[in-house]
């Protein structure tokens, strides 16, 4: 069964018209509650005969279903098309201390999710994740699962299942793809979370997919996914995009990678928590979510810590803008929950002393849902490994 190409949403060239047009029509159906064949022809600019052939193919493969009959002032009443809501994907968003496991539909909507706090014993981490997946599948027996998408906080050789670079992950992730496949019988696709989020922005987000895009994922560390010329930029050994480990301050804090003053030591969630601890040494330890809530409640030290994080985040994003000159930069992560307060600081720092026109800067306003949705994109993508 064919999947989908994460390329331009425009009508295809003569080289790959069938697959790109299939991708185009599926995305139009996905983004609308109900649509007719005539609507698809009008919206896509494709011939009605082409639309009919592709729609029949998608119906036969059970990606979409025929639904209710639409109403028109006159003439034949059209049959509406919708996504097959019985098909679903298991999405995993892996963090060093916890993993979110979710069920999502083909449109990227999160149906259910559970957070698994990983055991202190690193050897038990993967069995805990497998158990969480099985429980979620058992709780949704009415769904047909197309696969499992996994977002990793690190770089891996996806074909060899070899972890290349994951300084913040302290449990054995090697073999995760094959072990989860054996445990569930489902196809498993995985990638670096920033790469997956870049794919997701093209598929589910507001990007037109025709211009260069960089996603900055801000969490325990910082990673970037680069979408250029219609595809992900991976670089040698899949290491393209590790801006989080560019050294900003040689006298700065020790990074998990072994260097001092990497960008992520200054602008990640962990950096904000360190700033808060320095400002309020007698205060109890808090999570990043709790720090955001303190700031929203007017806590001056929490606000100061997050403002410092935002300043450093903006400086690093200016570095990316200068190096790559993308059309847009999208920020993913918990910081987006406070973007109305701290986003202007990031924006102002990006615009400061910019050598050229600054890119569009926008947040993905849905917290961890953006990362979970990106796991769905991995499963649907024809280019997944």
d(CA 239, CA 230): 19
Percent of the chain with pLDDT over 70: 83
Span 157-165, mean pLDDT?
56
Whether the per-residue pLDDT at 49 is higher than 60: the answer is yes
- pLDDT over 70 at 82, yes or no: yes
Cα separation, 223 vs 214, in Å, equals 10
Per residue in 151-176, is it b (16+ CB within 10 Å) or e — as a string? Answer: bbbbbbebeebebeebbbbebebeeb
Q: How high is the pLDDT of residue 233?
A: 85
Coil, strand, or helix at residue 377? helix
C-beta neighbour count of 314 within 10 angstroms:
23
- pLDDT on residue 367: 67
Per-residue pLDDT at 195 exceeds 80: yes
Q: Out of 6-15, 122-131, 170-179, 304-313, which region has the weakest mean confidence (pLDDT)?
A: 6-15
- Band of pLDDT at residue 166, cut at 50, 70 and 90: low
Residues paired with 363 in a beta bridge? 331
All domains in the chain, ordered by first residue: 17-83 (1.10.10.10), 87-198+371-380 (3.30.420.40), 207-363 (3.30.420.40)
Q: How many CB atoms lie within 10 A of CB 60?
A: 10
Pairing of strands 155-157, 162-165: antiparallel
Closest CA to 36 of 9, 68, 11: 68
CA angle 189, 191, 194 (to 5 degrees): 140
| Calpha distance 235→363 (Å, rounded) | 25
Per-residue confidence at 168, pLDDT binned at 50, 70, 90?
low
139 vs 67, more confident: 139
Start-end of H helices in the chain: 17-30, 37-44, 48-60, 125-138, 176-184, 193-203, 263-267, 269-279, 288-296, 300-324, 339-351, 368-380
User: What confidence score (pLDDT) does residue 326 get?
Assistant: 92
pLDDT of res. 209: 62
**Taking the CB of residue 302, how many other CB atoms lie within 10 A of it?**
24
Contact by Cβ (8 Å): 178, 184: no
């Amino acid at each position: 069964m064919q999947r989908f190409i994460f390329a331009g949403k425009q009508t295809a060239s003569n080289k790959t018209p069938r697959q790109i047009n299939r991708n185009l029509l599926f995305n139009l159906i996905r983004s609308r509650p109900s649509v007719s064949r005539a609507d698809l022809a009008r919206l896509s600019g494709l011939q009605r005969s082409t639309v009919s052939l592709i729609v029949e193919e998608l119906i036969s493969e059970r990606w979409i279903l025929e639904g209710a009959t639409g109403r028109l002032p006159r003439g034949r009443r059209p049959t509406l098309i919708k996504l097959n809501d019985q098909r679903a994907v298991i999405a995993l968003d892996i963090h060093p201390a916890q993993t979110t496991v979710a069920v999502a539909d083909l449109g990227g909507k999160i149906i259910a999710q559970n957070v698994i706090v990983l055991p202190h014993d690193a050897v038990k981490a993967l069995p805990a994740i497998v158990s969480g997946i099985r429980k979620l599948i058992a709780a949704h027996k009415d769904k047909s699962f197309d696969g499992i998408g996994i977002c990793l906080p690190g770089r891996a050789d996806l074909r060899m299942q070899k972890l290349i670079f994951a300084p913040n992950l302290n449990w054995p992730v090697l073999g995760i793809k094959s072990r989860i496949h054996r445990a569930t019988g489902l196809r498993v696709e995985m990638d670096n979370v920033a790469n997956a989020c870049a794919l997701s922005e093209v598929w589910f987000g507001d990007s037109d997919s025709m211009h260069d895009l960089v996603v900055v994922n801000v969490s325990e560390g910082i990673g970037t996914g680069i979408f250029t010329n219609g595809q992900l930029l991976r670089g040698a050994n899949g290491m393209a995009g590790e801006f989080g480990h560019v050294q900003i301050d040689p006298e700065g804090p020790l990074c998990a990678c072994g260097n001092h003053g990497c960008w992520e030591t200054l602008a990640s969630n962990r950096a904000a928590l360190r700033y808060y601890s320095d400002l309020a040494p007698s205060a109890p330890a808090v999570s990043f979510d709790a720090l955001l809530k303190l700031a929203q409640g007017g806590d001056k030290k929490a606000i100061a810590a997050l403002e410092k994080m935002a300043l450093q985040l903006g400086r690093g994003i200016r570095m990316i803008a200068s190096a790559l000159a993308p059309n847009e930069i999208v920020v993913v992560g918990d910081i987006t929950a406070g973007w109305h307060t701290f986003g202007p600081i990031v924006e102002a720092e990006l615009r400061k002393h910019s050598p050229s026109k600054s890119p569009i800067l926008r947040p993905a306003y849905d917290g961890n849902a953006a990362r979970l949705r990106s796991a769905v994109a991995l499963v649907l993508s024809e280019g997944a490994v």
